């Protein structure tokens, strides 16, 4: 999907409660964009398919894990996916099959082509889902960050091609 010179690409990361995986992905990808001087061309947000934690900060363990890698997600606030997100965002990236199915049911048919699994951008990993670390220990959050960092690189490559920035990589 090639974008015009002044068009902004919009990316939405989605998990269940928007307190672990999707805010971590938002923070990591936002930092990656800054490192590649693309923050002005790409808008990033995250949301949950459920509104259990609406208005809350990311899970303390998610904040600690990302902070150890130089990413601050402490200012983010959880929100539930809104109907308007389906039209507004160019990439709607689910962390797992469950949330993918929920998004496909939620979004109107004309926007379903935007919905994918986030790990589709890291096929070399051999896994399709980012596991929910909520009920696990600290190692689970580190593993999730490893997956997010890999998929973020693949997503960045795709978006660079869309924006025709140095022809991708």
pLDDT digits (tens, 9 = 90+) for 128-163: 999 999 998 889 999 999 999 999 999 999 999 999
9-163: which CATH number, 3.30.1340.30, 3.40.50.1980, 3.40.50.2300, 3.30.70.260?
3.40.50.2300
Residue 139 burial by CB count (10 A; 0-12/13-18/19+): exposed, middle or buried?
Answer: exposed
Distances (CA, A) of 76 to 1, 96, 137, 154, 166: 29, 21, 22, 24, 31
Strand partners, 13: 46, 93
Give catalytic residues, as residue numbers.
15, 21, 132
| pLDDT reported for residue 144 | 98
Mark out the alpha helices in the chain (DSSP H runs). Answer: 21-35, 60-68, 83-88, 97-106, 138-163
For residues 13 and 118, the answer to whether their CB atoms sit within 8 Å is: yes
Per-residue model confidence as pLDDT tens digits over 6-35 = 689 999 999 999 999 999 999 999 999 999
Contacts (Cβ under 8 Å, ≥6 apart) of 83: 106
| pLDDT reported for residue 1 | 57
3-state secondary structure of 93: strand
Q: Percent of the chain having pLDDT more than 90?
A: 90
| pLDDT reported for residue 116 | 98
How many Å apart are CA 102 and CA 98, to the nearest integer?
6
| pLDDT reported for residue 19 | 98
Question: Which of the four pLDDT bands, split at 50, 70 and 90, describes residue 164?
Answer: confident
Question: What is the b/e burial string over 52-72, where b = at least 16 CB atoms within 10 angstroms of the residue's CB?
Answer: ebeeebbbebbbebbeeeebe
For residues 13 and 26, the answer to whether their CB atoms sit within 8 Å is: yes
């Amino acid at each position: 999907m090639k974008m015009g010179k002044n068009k902004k690409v919009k990316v939405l990361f989605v998990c269940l409660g928007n307190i672990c995986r999707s805010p971590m992905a938002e923070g990591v990808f936002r930092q990656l964009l800054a490192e590649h001087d693309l923050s002005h061309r790409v808008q990033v947000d995250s949301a949950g398919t459920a509104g259990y934690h609406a208005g809350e900060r990311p899970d303390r363990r998610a904040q600690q894990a990302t902070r150890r890698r130089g990413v601050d997600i402490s200012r983010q606030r959880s929100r539930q996916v809104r109907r308007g997100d389906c039209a507004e965002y160019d990439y709607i990236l689910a962390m797992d099959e469950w949330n993918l199915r929920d998004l496909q049911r939620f979004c109107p048919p004309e926007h379903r082509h935007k919905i994918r699994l986030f790990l589709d951008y890291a096929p070399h990993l051999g896994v399709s889902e980012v596991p929910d670390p909520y009920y696990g220990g600290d190692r689970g959050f580190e593993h999730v960050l490893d997956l997010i960092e890999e998929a973020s690189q693949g997503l960045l490559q795709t978006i660079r091609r869309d924006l025709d920035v140095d022809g991708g990589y």
